Amino acid sequence: MGLMERIRRSSASWSRTIVAFRSPYPLRKGSGCDSNRLITRIERTPEDEFKIRFAYSDERRQQASFLVKKRYTEAGYVATTGTIHKGCPAEITLLSYLNEQVVGTLTVGLDVGQGLYADELYRAEIDRLRAEGRKVAEFTKLAVDTKRASKQVLASLFHIAYIHLRRLWRYTDMVIEVNPDHVDFYKRMLGFVEYGPQRHCARVNAPAMLLWLEAERVDGWIEAYGGRPELAKQVKMLYPYFFSPNKDREIARGLLDGERTG
């Protein structure tokens, strides 16, 4: 069975809800990004809870695309979901719902032979990581409805994506292309470091910079801060809004079981 078929089957087995939660922590305006009872997928969830799901169907992929286009247009970027990349990276897209309305989306690109979107501008930089034997994934197409979402919604999207690429597929490094105006946010809130100079991204007709993050550092932050939102003012990162280490392992086991039984 090929990689993408395995992803499709495991995603479909979690088609209802991966995890759900109530979140009293709103996003602040100008955050730079385009207590809590956690519920597993087998429980019924009230309508006022946020739910994280895979965009495994055409309908859900269209919902993700609509939110990305909306947020990109509001930010003044070219609202396109197409690419000038010669290949088509393997992708996993996540959606966050509130009252069955999409309020956030994030896509993970897997380096399985077709390359990454970031290779268009930063092939040399990413090849340096590959040459060291690292497995590199990328975060793309992040969009959040800041009026209805929250810090924990944003953190949860990143955490579920991270669980998938780190726990299931053993990726060691992550990269992301961001607008220079948002670099400080990703460095401060998620621990990314600058890894490529500013260049022009034709996909969105805007400047971009490449940021890089080692998975081992994320593992440490999740272990130290995950599931402890009371530390947010002290730590000043998103990791206190991530799930706890025990919940991380529980979700990973559920995803692995879904893959095995899919």
Q: Looking at the 3D structure of the chain, how many domains does it have?
A: 1
**Closest to 23 in 3D by CA, of 51, 55, 63:** 51
Q: What is the pTM of this model?
A: 0.79
CATH number of the structural domain spanning residue 257: 3.40.630.30
**Closest to 258 in 3D by CA, of 172, 163, 173:** 163
Identify the domain containing residue 69 by its residue range.
Answer: 3-261
Q: How many residues does the chain have?
A: 262
**pLDDT digit of tens for each residue in the chain (262 aa)?**
555 555 555 545 445 567 776 665 444 443 333 323 333 333 334 445 788 888 876 777 777 777 777 766 766 666 554 443 444 458 888 988 888 888 889 999 999 888 999 999 999 999 999 999 999 999 998 888 878 777 888 999 999 999 989 999 999 999 999 999 999 999 999 999 999 999 999 887 889 999 999 999 999 999 999 999 999 999 999 999 999 999 999 999 988 876 543 3
Asked if 53 and 14 count as a contact pair (C-beta separation under 8 A), the reply is yes
Amino acid, res. 254? G
